[in-house]
A and B are shown apart, each in its own frame.
Chain A
């Protein structure tokens, strides 16, 4: 079983509570010259399609605010290749899947 599959299974069901940060490892994230792409299905996250503000924090780098547009989170390469915590303040329990994929072509 490759790392991707293990990763997928490990994060297939994660219970997220209000204001409870969820740590997502970016170790397997694809890096481009300027962007690291991390794809999360917005439906599985329990968020409506559209733009959502996410508070993103990362060790030693302070915090930043990024947008989740559709089902794509774009994280700038200034983030270290370390765990990233998403704290989106949704209430209740959400089951979601997280998987890696290539970024849609930016035009």
Chain B
């Protein structure tokens, strides 16, 4: 009898702790470009992609809007370009419940320049190594502005701010690659692979010297017969050098976020299964 009473009390306690019907899942965050968010038609196109591809209930999803001002704070310092509030279309959904590794699903029918591999590479540069990200847009868009939203979503989901220096380095990587793809016509996947390989080599040997990075890129370009200009190579070296130079901040961020993104790939956020397992073990232990 005593055991049943304690079990009932435990269930009441759990009931008090359970989220209400209106609560969202803190592991699900959507970010909408402000142009998309301003139009019900555009937003519904994006939402349909999220629902169909991420298999989520939008009522569970936290949402944020990425403005042109936010994008311009990043882009103006990298490419010198600024954008109006009618140009910010790219939107993203972060699902931290799908957390075994870092995966980015890009709507290739809409996102024309930035590839999934480019997003993954830039996120890894920022120290982000798990979660499933979905990127789309209601109309064809380059996808450059999505990274600002994705990093914002990670901050929202983990409640840990990504250092500005790290955000700048990751965005620099995306914008630089976008410029090269658009100006030089290099295959986006080839370029993403180049950046990834060079970053790995540079990171392995902890190279920070600009000329050495240029040489590594040159070797890769020649060995793989990639047709890019010396200016492109210089720009790539600059962005990879920047990523290297913020490794201290990246490591600090990784320490901060490790409480939310466990090495075993499971998020520490609220989980009904976890709670029920806890109740089961609690009752068994009585």
A-side residues, CB < 8 A to B, are 32-35, 51, 64-67, 69-72, 74, 76, 104-107
Contacts and interface: CB of A to CB of B under 8 A. Distances in A.
Given A33-B140, A35-B139, A106 B87 contact: yes
Given A69-B35, A69-B84, A70-B85, 20 more contacts: A32-B140, A33-B140, A34-B139, A51-B38, A66-B41, A67-B39, A69-B85, A69-B86, A70-B84, A71-B86, A72-B84, A76-B41, A106-B35, A106-B137, A106-B142, A107-B33, A107-B71, A107-B83, A107-B89, A107-B145
Contact of A70 (B71, B86, B138): B86
A38 to B, nearest CB: 12
A66 B86 CA distance: 13
A35 B137 CA distance: 12
A44 to B, nearest CB: 16
Contacts of A67: 38-39
A107 B142 contact: yes
Contact of B90 (A64, A71, A74, A107): A107
B107 to A, nearest CB: 11
Nearest to A77: B139
Given A34-B140, A69-B35, A107 B41 contact: no
A107 B110 CA distance: 11
B140 A35 contact: yes
A74 B139 contact: yes
Contacts of B86: 69-72, 74, 104
Nearest to B138: A34
Nearest to B71: A107
Contacts of B142: 105-107
A22 to B, nearest CB: 21
A1 B86 CA distance: 32
Contact of B87 (A32, A34, A104): A104
A106 B39 CA distance: 15
A33 B71 CA distance: 25
Interface string B107-119: 0001000000000
A107 B82 CA distance: 11
Interface residues of B, number: 25
A90 B80 CA distance: 37
A65 B40 contact: yes
Contacts of A51: 38
Interface in B24-42: 33, 35, 38-41
A106 B40 contact: no
Contacts of A71: 86
Given A104-B87, A106-B137, A107-B87, A64 B143 contact: no
Contacts of B139: 32, 34-35, 74, 106
Interface in B72-115: 83-90, 110
B135 interface: no
Contacts of A34: 110, 138-140
17 contacts: A32-B140, A34-B139, A34-B140, A66-B39, A69-B86, A70-B85, A74-B139, A104-B84, A104-B87, A105-B83, A106-B89, A106-B137, A106-B140, A106-B141, A107-B88, A107-B90, A107-B143
Nearest to A35: B139
With most chain A CB atoms within 10 A of its CB, the pick from B39, B90, B137 is: B39
Contacts of B39: 66-67
Residue in A66, A71, A72, A105 whose Cβ sees the most chain B Cβ within 10 Å: A105
